[in-house]
Structure formats: C-alpha cells, structure tokens
C-alpha cells in the first residue's frame, strides 16, 4: 500500500462528497482488499473512529480484510440459480479449488465467493470470473472454467478469431493516414501516434486490429498514466469529445477510413474504447 495513493482517493471523494463506502470501494478496487494501514489512514483523515471504519468494512459483504487471489470467482446462489442447481456448482468449485466460500487458494490464484444474486437469473446458473459471465453452467463445466481462467480470459487468438479485424485510421484534423506499414504489430501495419506525458515526447504504436490491445512505446509500457495524443503529421491533439466509460480519462479519437470514428482511452493500460460506425456521437 502507498500512502499517497490512498490520500488521492480520499481527496477525490472529498470533492464529490461521497461517503465512506465509496472510499472503501475505491481502495478495495486498487488493492483487491482493504489493508489495515489504509483503514487507519481513512480514520485519521476523515476524523471518524477506527471502530466505525472497521464496523462498516465488516458489515458489507463486498469488502475483504484479507488479500484476495489473482482471480475472483463469484458463483451466484440466487433463488433462480439455486433451483437450477447452483449449490452443486458452488460445491464443485470448492472441491476443485480445495477452498471454502470466501477463501483464497494458498497459491493466491483464486478467491471463491458465493453471491446472492447477480441479476442474470434467466440464464442461470451463473458464474462470474474476473467480470466474465458464464451462463447455464453445469458441474462438468467447472473444470473448463478454471482452466480457461488460468490460460487468460482476455486473450483472444488474434489470428483465428473472426471477431478481430483491421481498422484503417486517419487523423481527424489533417486526414493524413496514421497507419505505419513499416512496423507491424499482431502481423498487421501498426497505428503510429505521438504521445506526451510529464514533459516527455515520443512515439506510441497501437495494434490496428480492433479487439487487440497490443501497444509499443518509446518509453516502454507505463500503466495508469494518462497521455496526450498527437497526430505525427499535423501535430494536432487527437482529443475525443467524451470521457472513458471505464475510468473517466479523456478519450482519443481517430477517423475510420471506411466510416465512423474509433475512440480509445488515453490512460495506458485501460481497455476503454468505442467504435462508432455512423459517427453521430452521443
């Protein structure tokens, strides 16, 4: 835990006057649990007693005081899932991962939790692994879900996957192509732009395959920094009109040759993006 990170969360919430629960949620989403030192800091800064903070942190189920695993596996045990066999699914996860509900495997890979309803009742039993929904699950599928998670749920097989395709983009200001055939990423010409952050100025190459998040940068990969994007030809800032739906950083927009606009989040590491094929905006 870093003190300044927690302080910046506290500061953010001071501005928007949201309560303790939102503060704790943001801390938890940063560290996957609520570190004791963070709670102490929250108590100090908000002027509330540590007992109060601890009370709130233990009252609500979504908070964890223990570090959680790399993957969070939530098995829905709502009524609709229950009558369709969710208890068997939950038991099978417990057996295969060899942990009880709300526990983490010793190798810190998986945390298993039972949740009361995820609101996707029509297609239950539901399992959510790191935000990916699995529907109509039966017990023989449990093993496959665990295997898939270990292999990486986000990894689309770029070459075979028909959902992935190339976007030919250009600068919204000078209309000059941003494609760079001299350097391939994922086997296709990359998109080259100029980025700057904290006084440093350099190139960034993005995969032109829609659905791939491969990037290369002059500075190496810096996650969680918001960068300003510029056209390498006319040097105009590629500023989008909206904020990232995931992290609220400004979006960067580029024209798609075949029609429309693609927007990506300016925060490195964030996967927020929008492909708007008729270009009507919001």
Which 86-145 positions form the footprint of another protein (CB under 8 A)?
88, 91-92, 95-96, 115-124, 126, 131, 133-135, 138-140
Query: Residue from 39, 56, 97, 249 that binds another protein (CB under 8 A)?
Result: 56
Of 214-243, binders to another protein (CB under 8 A) are: 241, 243
Residue closer to another protein (CB basis): 25 or 216: 25
The stretch near another protein (CB under 8 A) out of 145-153, 184-192, 224-232, 255-263 is 255-263
Q: What is the CA radius of gyration of the chain?
A: 22
Following DSSP, what letter does each residue of 229-281 receive, concatenated? Answer: EE-TTT--B-EEEEE-TTT-PEEEEEEETTSSEEEEESBTT---EEEESS---
Pairing of strands 110-115, 71-76: parallel
| Bridge partner residues of 273 (DSSP) | 264
Of 134-193, binders to another protein (CB under 8 A) are: 134-135, 138-140, 162-163, 165, 167, 170, 172-175
Of 9-38, binders to another protein (CB under 8 A) are: 16-22, 24-25
Distance of CA 170 to the CA centre of its chain: 27
- Distance, in Å, from the CA atom of 33 to the CA atom of 79, rounded to the nearest integer, reads 28
Query: Residue from 85, 103, 149, 233 that binds another protein (CB under 8 A)?
Result: 85
Query: Residue from 7, 36, 221, 275 that binds another protein (CB under 8 A)?
Result: 275
Number of residues that bind another protein (CB under 8 A): 78
Two tokens, residue 191: 């998109």
Sign of CA dihedral 236, 242, 243, 245: negative
Query: Residue from 31, 63, 203, 213 that binds another protein (CB under 8 A)?
Result: 63
Is residue 208 at the binding interface for another protein, with CB under 8 A as the rule? no
């Amino acid at each position: 835990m870093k003190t300044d990170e927690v302080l910046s969360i506290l500061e953010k919430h001071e501005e928007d006057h949201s309560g303790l629960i939102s503060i704790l949620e943001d801390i938890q989403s940063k560290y996957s649990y609520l570190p004791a030192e963070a709670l102490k800091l929250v108590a100090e800064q908000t002027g509330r007693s540590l007992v109060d903070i601890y009370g709130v942190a233990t009252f609500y189920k979504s908070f964890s005081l223990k570090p959680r695993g790399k993957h969070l596996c939530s098995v829905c045990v709502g009524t609709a899932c229950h009558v369709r066999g969710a208890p068997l699914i939950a038991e099978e996860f417990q057996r295969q991962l060899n942990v009880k509900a709300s526990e983490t495997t010793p190798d810190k890979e998986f945390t298993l939790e039972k949740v009361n309803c995820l609101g996707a009742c029509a297609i239950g039993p539901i399992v959510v692994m790191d935000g990916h929904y699995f529907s109509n699950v039966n017990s023989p599928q449990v093993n496959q879900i665990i295997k898939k998670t270990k292999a990486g749920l986000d990894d689309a097989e770029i070459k075979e996957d028909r959902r992935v395709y190339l976007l030919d983009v250009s600068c919204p200001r000078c209309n000059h192509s941003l494609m760079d055939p001299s350097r391939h990423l994922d086997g296709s010409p990359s998109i080259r732009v100029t980025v700057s952050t904290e006084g440093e100025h350099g190139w960034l190459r993005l995969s032109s395959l829609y659905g791939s998040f491969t990037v290369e940068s002059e500075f190496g990969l810096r996650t969680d920094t918001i960068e300003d994007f510029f056209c390498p030809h006319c040097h105009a800032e590629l500023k989008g009109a909206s904020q990232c739906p995931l992290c609220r950083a400004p979006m960067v927009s580029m024209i798609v040759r075949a029609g429309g606009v693609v927007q990506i989040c300016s925060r490195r590491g964030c996967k927020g993006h929008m492909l708007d094929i008729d270009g009507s905006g919001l």
